[in-house]
Amino acid sequence: MPLPLNPTLRHRLQEAGRPLFGGWVCSGSPVMAEVMAGSGLDWILIDMEHAPNGLESVLSQLHAVSGYPVTAVVRVPSADPVIIKQVLDLGAQTILVPMVSTEEQARSVAAAAQYPPHGIRGVGSALARSARWNRVPDYLQNAAEHVSVFVQVETGEGVENARAIAAVDGIDGVFVGPSDLAASLGFLGRQGHPEVVAAVGRAFADVTAAGKPVGVNAFDPQAAADYAEAGAAFLLVGADVALTARASEALAARFIPQPGAGEDDGVSGATTSY
């Protein structure tokens, strides 16, 4: 049985020739993961850091998206090597590790994702979906080809160390998180502040100089376009829960009378516009 069944993010980036646009899956729902996977997006991020996801729900979502031509990335909740091992054994082929701010932390992440002698990943391929229970020929010898590791820079310290982080062998790229970066720089909730945008730009330049692809989270369409123009190779441009929240709010605003609205602004007026 050959792998990858779906290309890793590293492979997709090598072949793309354009920025890759993805969506966040934060609901913990395999149904929503499948909806996002079939949308036409290039990649999806199954989140364990800020979403109600454990190993079982991540496995269900990996199953749900496996039949679609989309690259699935799992963001682990931390750089814990035990969690990284478990998520890789589930069959996640691309992982994203948050809050990496130093070269040393990046080296630890790379080691956690590789078997000895290059790393410390525990050997359990005969028991795990990663090697399809030893149905993938030579998985242990070729595991590095089947696994792609990205780290997230989202602090001022991480920006200063971005080039060294990106240069670590076994790190395939860097994803910049403007939300936490803004908080780290003293601009909580202000991802568009000029100092935050400038820091993102510095990270872009340093990661690119190290020869690795750089990505960014940008839900604002103009910010996403600007970052793509500035060299972002992969971007997250929306999330299942945010898309549902805004769409349901728009639905309610269209059909439910709002306080102070005129008689013609209620349900009857909306209905006649179908």
Phi/psi region, residue 132 (left: phi>0; alpha: psi -120 to 50; beta: rest), is: left
Q: Are 207 and 173 in contact (CB under 8 A)?
A: yes
In angstroms, rounded to a whole number, what is the distance separating the alpha carbons of residues 192 and 178? 8
Examine the residue annotation and report whether 50 is marked as an active-site residue of this protein: yes
C-alpha 204: how far from its chain's center? 17
Q: List all residues 6 or more positions away from 239 whose beta carbon is below 8 Å from its beta carbon.
A: 23, 24, 25, 26, 219
Q: Show the tokens assigned to 140.
A: 């242990």
Q: Is 99 left (phi over 0), alpha (psi -120 to 50) or beta?
A: left
Query: CA of 93: how far to CAs of 55, 116, 274, in Å?
Result: 15, 18, 45
DSSP letter assigned to residue 163:
H
Of 11, 50, 63, 118, which is the active-site residue?
Answer: 50
CA distance 19 to 42: 9
CA distance 189 to 257: 31
Active site residues: 50
